[in-house]
């Protein structure tokens, strides 16, 4: 641990808890009762438990006293800071970031979630800067939408920022690592001056657009089952309507201002708008993402999350969180999503229990990794005997080694003990195990079968290495493409992608003059609109240049077609699995090696591994070539 001069207080994690959102009773939502304490105090105790001791609770001046019961007895490291406005909140963020070192957490004071959900973001060292997030939307409107690619937040919405093609949501918690502190300070200061009235061009309009979308969808809900189909009516908040920045299709010809809502719904809309205005976390996220900071998602998994804004909702949350088997959820989510077929169906169902057993015995992931490697060497030695019993024993040992190998990752995720060295060791040992087994099989072939299969062994190793190198290299170029994506400056309400939708008249965000349909949809924003020119920035895959030559268009047309077919295959579960099996992932390879070695000869084993591997290589190579063409 590094030290920074003599001020020991400035080192270590700092949290900024925003108790600025109003509840329906007019007080701060953080002061809502939770069992025999408050929602805010529950969160502060969770932070303390996660060893985030230095906490500044930001609230509005008139609420300062109301928060006293929530922080009573928590010690001098927890203090309340009264700030009159969002702009001042942001300035406070910058000040605190400048004064200290280490990671800094910005979180809503009324968040109700499991300790492990917070720990996954706040404590896990593998995320330097990140947000608590979930896939999809969170009804009704309680979490701003974000768009993520490969776990990285590419764009975010805020009260004043629109988003196109959202696929994830921000759950009100942001962690900024030491590395990105300078960017946080700069971003917070910039936003502090931008949020001071008058707001930049288009900001107020964006907020109005969000509010009018809520009004429209609340009106649709109120219209009852005859307006929606029966299934949706049962669910009070259809997801499509709940997506901030992703409105329901504007099929309603009425002006949203003329939509009539019940008094209760009007109050709802007013409260939501008020809360959205206070959303400093989403503003900071937009600022960081647009300043090119690498913000990772820490997913909620199947844990509980809620942001209650009334006594009733707080009570409801308390009841719901009671019903969770936290350990069960954690264990289930320790299994890697997106694993191969064999691993998912034949190993993970039981390996998670071995992981839990190992966790209770206090074993570390690295110990398990090492044991797995040792068993792999034993398997190779058994194969090297060249006798039938030896081959069968080797096959069994290889499966044991593979299971153990799955356990280490699950153990790391379950106990949150990730290390860079551990990840490296795991990967290197995976490869080593496989190639040691190849050597064992080749030795066994000459000893037991009088066959020289070394050429096949070298060929199999070469094929797998080339295969992996293709994965690494292609992945790298994709990462580079993602990192190079254009991001608009933070005073710009659109994100470049949001506008693309408007060009097809789905979104009412298009400035008049860009798209005549916007007016026809009756959703054209009132008041001054940003100039169309400011929006005319490069957008993803929209060709910015004049039309390319025919041959080029044909090639990319065919490529797009092939990608569409591939996506269509992903829509059915069994075709999706078929694709995964075809690429011959490690679980399938080890299963084939075990089966073939136990039942046939080492030569046959190598031939199967080579043939399947060659098909997989060809398939992935062609698939990637097509994707490269479509770029």
Q: Does 475 bind other proteins (CB under 8 A)?
A: yes
Q: How far is the C-alpha of 29 from the C-alpha of 242, rounded, in Å?
A: 21
Question: Site for other proteins (CB under 8 A): which residue of 462, 504, 531, 600?
Answer: 462
Q: Does 439 bind other proteins (CB under 8 A)?
A: yes
H helix intervals, 50-111: 68-71, 86-99
With CB under 8 A as the rule, give the number of residues binding other proteins.
70
Question: For residue 154, what is the DSSP state?
Answer: E
Q: Does 452 bind other proteins (CB under 8 A)?
A: yes
Q: Which of residues 139-178 bind other proteins (CB under 8 A)?
A: 150-152
Question: Site for other proteins (CB under 8 A): which residue of 99, 227, 274, 469?
Answer: 469
Structure tokens at 422: 């551990």
Q: Does 476 bind other proteins (CB under 8 A)?
A: yes
Question: Site for other proteins (CB under 8 A): which residue of 325, 450, 472, 533?
Answer: 472
Q: Are 372 and 408 in contact (CB under 8 A)?
A: yes
Using the minimum distance from each CB to other proteins, give the nearer residue, 277 or 627.
627
Q: How far is the CB of 18 from other proteins (least distance, A)?
A: 24
Q: Residues 509-548 vs other proteins: string with x where CB under 8 A?
A: ----------------------------------------
Using the minimum distance from each CB to other proteins, give the nearer residue, 462 or 526.
462
Contacting range for other proteins; rule: CB under 8 A; set: 199-207, 314-322, 468-476, 519-527: 468-476
User: Where do we find the tokens 């090492």?
Assistant: 370
Using the minimum distance from each CB to other proteins, give the nearer residue, 396 or 461.
461
Helices 602-630, 550-571: axis angle to 10 degrees equals: 130
Q: Does 421 bind other proteins (CB under 8 A)?
A: yes
Which 3 state secondary structure label does DSSP give 252?
Answer: coil
Among 178, 182, 138, smallest CA distance to 282 is for: 138
Question: Site for other proteins (CB under 8 A): which residue of 304, 346, 454, 577?
Answer: 454
Q: Which of residues 277-296 bind other proteins (CB under 8 A)?
A: 291-294, 296
Using the minimum distance from each CB to other proteins, give the nearer residue, 234 or 337.
337
Q: What residues contact residue 343 under an 8 Å CB cut-off, 6+ apart?
A: 406, 585, 586, 587
Q: How far is the CB of 246 from other proteins (least distance, A)?
A: 24
How many other CB atoms sit within 10 Å of the CB of residue 320? 12
Bridge-based pairing of strands 54-59 and 14-19 is parallel
Q: Does 435 bind other proteins (CB under 8 A)?
A: yes
Using the minimum distance from each CB to other proteins, give the nearer residue, 468 or 572.
468
Q: Residues 574-613 vs other proteins: string with x where CB under 8 A?
A: -----x---x-xx---------------------------
Using the minimum distance from each CB to other proteins, give the nearer residue, 139 or 151.
151
Q: Residues 33-72 vs other proteins: string with x where CB under 8 A?
A: ----------------------------------------
Q: How far is the C-alpha of 348 from the C-alpha of 331, rounded, in Å?
A: 11
Q: Does 459 bind other proteins (CB under 8 A)?
A: yes
Q: Does 566 bind other proteins (CB under 8 A)?
A: yes
Q: Are 59 and 53 in contact (CB under 8 A)?
A: no
Using the minimum distance from each CB to other proteins, give the nearer residue, 50 or 296.
296
Question: Site for other proteins (CB under 8 A): which residue of 304, 418, 449, 577?
Answer: 418
DSSP H or E stretch at residue 411:
helix 388-415
Q: What residues contact residue 366 under an 8 Å CB cut-off, 6+ apart?
A: 408, 419, 421, 422, 425
Question: Site for other proteins (CB under 8 A): which residue of 45, 257, 466, 520?
Answer: 466
Question: Site for other proteins (CB under 8 A): which residue of 74, 82, 123, 128?
Answer: 128
Q: What is the residue-wise DSSP string for 298-335?
A: EE-TT--EE---SHHHHHHHHHHHHT--HHHHHHHHTS
Q: Does 424 bind other proteins (CB under 8 A)?
A: yes
Q: What residues contact residue 487 under an 8 Å CB cut-off, 6+ apart?
A: 155, 289, 290, 292, 495, 496
Using the minimum distance from each CB to other proteins, give the nearer residue, 304 or 621.
621
Q: Does 560 bind other proteins (CB under 8 A)?
A: no
Integer CA distances (angstroms), 459 to 239, 582, 610, in order: 52, 20, 8
Q: How far is the CB of 237 from other proteins (least distance, A)?
A: 29
Q: How far is the CB of 614 from other proteins (least distance, A)?
A: 11
Helices 365-384, 420-444: axis angle to 10 degrees equals: 10
Q: Does 190 bind other proteins (CB under 8 A)?
A: yes
Q: How far is the CB of 144 from other proteins (least distance, A)?
A: 21
Q: How far is the C-alpha of 491 from the C-alpha of 286, rounded, in Å?
A: 10
Q: How far is the C-alpha of 453 from the C-alpha of 384, rounded, in Å?
A: 12
The C-alpha R_g of the chain, in whole angstroms, comes to: 28
Question: Site for other proteins (CB under 8 A): which residue of 227, 274, 458, 611?
Answer: 458
Q: What residues contact residue 133 under an 8 Å CB cut-off, 6+ apart?
A: 146, 148, 153, 168, 169, 170, 171, 297, 298, 299, 300
H helix intervals, 416-543: 420-444, 454-483, 497-503, 516-520, 532-535
Q: How far is the C-alpha of 245 from the C-alpha of 242, rounded, in Å?
A: 9
Question: Site for other proteins (CB under 8 A): which residue of 165, 336, 416, 447?
Answer: 336
Helix, strand, coil abundance in the chain, percent, nearest 5: 60, 10, 30
Question: Site for other proteins (CB under 8 A): which residue of 262, 477, 504, 600?
Answer: 477
Q: How far is the C-alpha of 631 from the C-alpha of 561, rounded, in Å?
A: 13
Structure tokens at 158: 């805020």
Question: Site for other proteins (CB under 8 A): which residue of 432, 451, 517, 581?
Answer: 432
Contacting range for other proteins; rule: CB under 8 A; set: 95-103, 135-143, 156-164, 466-474: 466-474
Q: Does 568 bind other proteins (CB under 8 A)?
A: no
Question: Site for other proteins (CB under 8 A): which residue of 3, 135, 262, 427?
Answer: 427
Q: Does 474 bind other proteins (CB under 8 A)?
A: yes
Residues lying near other proteins in the complex (CB under 8 A) are found at 126, 128, 150-152, 179, 182-183, 186, 190, 291-294, 296, 336-338, 340, 418, 420-421, 423-424, 427-428, 431-432, 435, 438-439, 442, 452, 454-455, 457-459, 461-463, 465-477, 479-480, 483, 489, 566, 579, 583, 585-586, 620, 623-625, 628-629, 631
């Amino acid at each position: 641990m590094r030290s920074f001069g003599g001020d020991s207080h400035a080192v270590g994690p700092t949290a900024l808890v925003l108790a600025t959102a109003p509840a329906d009773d007019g007080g701060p939502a953080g002061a809502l009762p939770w069992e025999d304490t408050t929602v805010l105090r529950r969160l502060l105790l969770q932070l303390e438990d996660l060893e985030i001791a230095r906490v500044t609770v930001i609230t509005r001046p008139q609420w300062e006293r109301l928060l006293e019961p929530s922080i009573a007895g928590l010690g001098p490291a927890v203090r309340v800071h009264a700030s009159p406005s969002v702009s001042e909140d942001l300035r406070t963020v910058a000040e605190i970031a400048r004064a200290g070192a280490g990671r800094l957490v910005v979180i809503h004071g009324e968040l109700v979630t499991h300790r492990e959900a917070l720990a996954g973001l706040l404590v896990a060292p593998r995320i330097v800067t990140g947000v608590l997030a979930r896939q999809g939307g969170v009804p009704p409107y309680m979490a701003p939408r974000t768009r993520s690619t490969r776990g990285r937040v590419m764009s975010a919405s805020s009260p004043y920022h629109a988003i196109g093609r959202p696929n994830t949501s921000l759950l009100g918690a942001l962690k900024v690592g030491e590395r990105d502190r300078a960017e946080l300070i700069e971003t917070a200061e910039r936003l502090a001056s931008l949020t001071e009235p008058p707001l930049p061009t288009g900001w107020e309009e964006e907020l109005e657009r969000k509010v009018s979308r809520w009004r429209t969808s609340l009106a649709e809900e109120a219209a009852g089952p005859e307006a929606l189909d029966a299934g949706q009516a049962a669910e009070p908040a259809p997801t499509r309507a709940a997506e901030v920045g992703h409105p329901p299709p504007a099929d309603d010809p009425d002006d949203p201002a003329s939509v009539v809502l019940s008094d209760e719904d009007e109050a709802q809309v007013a409260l939501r708008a008020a809360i959205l205005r206070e959303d400093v976390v989403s503003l900071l996220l937009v600022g960081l993402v647009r300043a090119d900071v690498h913000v990772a998602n820490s997913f909620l998994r199947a844990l509980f999350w809620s942001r209650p804004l009334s006594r009733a909702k707080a009570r409801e949350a308390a009841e719901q969180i009671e019903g969770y088997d936290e350990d069960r959820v954690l264990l289930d989510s320790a299994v890697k999503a997106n694993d191969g077929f064999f691993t998912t169906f034949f190993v993970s169902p039981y390996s998670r229990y071995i992981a839990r057993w190992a966790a209770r015995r206090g074993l570390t992931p690295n110990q398990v990794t090492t044991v797995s490697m040792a068993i792999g060497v034993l398997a190779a030695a058994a194969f090297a005997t060249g006798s039938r019993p030896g081959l069968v024993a080797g096959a069994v040992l290889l499966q044991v080694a593979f299971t153990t190998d799955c356990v280490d990752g699950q153990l790391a995720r379950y106990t949150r003990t990730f290390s860079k060295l551990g990840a490296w060791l795991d990967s290197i040992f995976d490869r080593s195990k496989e190639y040691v087994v190849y050597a064992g099989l080749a030795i066994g072939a000459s000893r037991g079968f009088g066959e020289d299969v070394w050429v096949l062994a070298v060929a199999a190793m070469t094929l797998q290495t080339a295969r992996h190198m293709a994965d690494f290299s292609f992945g790298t170029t994709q990462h580079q493409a993602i990192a190079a994506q254009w991001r608009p400056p933070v005073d710009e309400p659109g994100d470049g992608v949001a506008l693309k939708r408007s060009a097809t008249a789905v979104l009412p965000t298009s400035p008049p003059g860009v798209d005549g349909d916007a007016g026809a949809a009756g959703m054209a924003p009132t008041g001054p609109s940003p100039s169309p020119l400011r929006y005319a920035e490069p957008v993803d895959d929209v060709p910015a240049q004049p039309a390319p030559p025919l041959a080029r268009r044909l090639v990319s047309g065919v490529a797009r077609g092939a990608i569409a077919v591939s996506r269509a295959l992903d829509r059915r579960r069994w075709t999706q699995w078929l694709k995964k099996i075809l690429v011959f992932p490690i679980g399938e390879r080890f299963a084939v090696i075990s089966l073939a070695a136990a039942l046939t000869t080492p030569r046959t084993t190598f031939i199967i591994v080579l043939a399947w591997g060659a098909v997989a290589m060809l398939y992935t190579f062609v698939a990637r070539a097509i994707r490269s063409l479509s770029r």
